[in-house]
Copies of this chain bind each other. A is one copy, B any other.
Amino acid sequence: MNNFEFFNPTRIVFGEGQVKAINNLVPESARVLILYGGESARKHGTLDQVMTALGQRHVESFGGIEANPGYSTLMRAVELIREQRLDYLLAVGGGSVIDGTKFIAAAVDCEGDPWEEILVRGAENIRTALPFGTVLTLPATGSEMNTNSVITRYETHEKLAFSSPLVFPEFSILDPTKAYTLPARQLANGVVDAYTHIMEQYLTYPVGARVQDRFAEGLMQTLIEIGPSLLANPDNYELQSNFMWTATLALNGLIGAGVPQDWATHMIGHEITALHGLDHAQTLAIVLPSVMQEQRAVKHDKLLQYADSVWHIEEADEERRIDLAINKTRDFFEQMGVKTRLSDYQIDAEAIPLMVQQLGEHGLTQLGEHGDIDLDKSRKILEASL
């Protein structure tokens, strides 16, 4: 097991009917900005419940945060906060709204250009951030219990990430019934996203971290068990509650503490979204099987463990066992209705050079747990994804 530090002070309030707990979690004197995405939060009554819970507090709201939260949109929220002297943020939505809220929280008191300071120069420049809580409506990214944020600048087709301990949510309300009304595509994306988060922290090389491995395997097995039934029964409380808690634990720091991490799939996937607008999870479903294939030599031991512990594959030949594990992974994503080939999204070989060029421009030339995925290997991974 590698040395590690684990710290996660986000308070999780989990279960049906928990939105009302907001009244005890947000300071009474807070001047609150509610942030949300599309109109589903309003249509399904969540915004009303949040407003009711906030009672007599001063509340403004700001909607329209995109599925990949956009810099210009977020900066309009920053202006509103500055104008209205608001001091507490409440994100109502999924990972996009929460990621956007983290950026806003850090940008409000940022001197200089927030894109440059926070996303290009790096999060160590962040000195303060507004406190915020979240009401999760779309399990997927784990953003409700971590410090990660990914922001898109549509004008320049750039998608960059930051992370800072100053943007831990103070609390997150996880009410599984809020996910009942999600479209199948978003639910499926969420399962693929959570699954890939686990794989990024698990499928590297063994360091004798039995606990982390068993936790990761347990989370993946849970997703495999519940994923297809969940698509068919999105209003099943047991399935949604297990999905929601799994997605949170998939990326709250726990299973990644003390182990190597990969993240090449995410980094390559971000460029596909930035250039072609695919859903984040679609890019993961495309890239992950190819990373497994192209990195099978360096991931050999963990691929065998994965084949055994997660899929219970009984096959004497090791390479064949790895093939089967990769196929099972791809099949699971397809079974969830998420296509796993670039060609399924009308992207062909001609699009690859620009994606590789963008990776280079963003300095992503040493990806993976060994830093051995250079631009040439990224190109091979993308070609294997056609």
Residue numbers of A with Cβ under 8 A of B are 1-18, 208-211, 214-215, 217-219, 221-222, 225-226, 238, 241-242, 245-246, 249, 254, 257-258
Contact = CB atoms under 8 A, between A and B. Distances in A.
Taking each of A1, A2, A10, A225, which has the highest tally of chain B beta carbons within 10 Å of its own beta carbon? A1
Contact of A18 (B3, B218, B238): B3
A-B interface, 8 closest residue pairs, ranked by CB to CB distance from nearest: A3-B15, A214-B218, A9-B9, A208-B238, A7-B11, A1-B241, A6-B12, A210-B242
Given A7-B11, A215-B215, A209 B18 contact: no
Contacts of A2: 15
28 contacts: A1-B14, A1-B238, A1-B241, A1-B245, A2-B15, A3-B15, A3-B17, A4-B15, A5-B14, A6-B12, A6-B14, A7-B10, A9-B9, A14-B257, A15-B258, A208-B241, A211-B219, A211-B222, A211-B242, A211-B245, A211-B246, A214-B214, A214-B221, A214-B222, A215-B215, A215-B218, A245-B258, A254-B254
Say what secondary structure dominates the interface of chain A: mixed
Given A219-B211, A238-B208, A4 B9 contact: no
Given A5-B13, A214-B215, 10 more contacts: A1-B241, A4-B12, A5-B14, A6-B11, A7-B12, A8-B8, A15-B258, A210-B226, A211-B219, A215-B218
A10 to B, nearest CB: 8
Taking each of A11, A14, A226, which has the highest tally of chain B beta carbons within 10 Å of its own beta carbon? A14
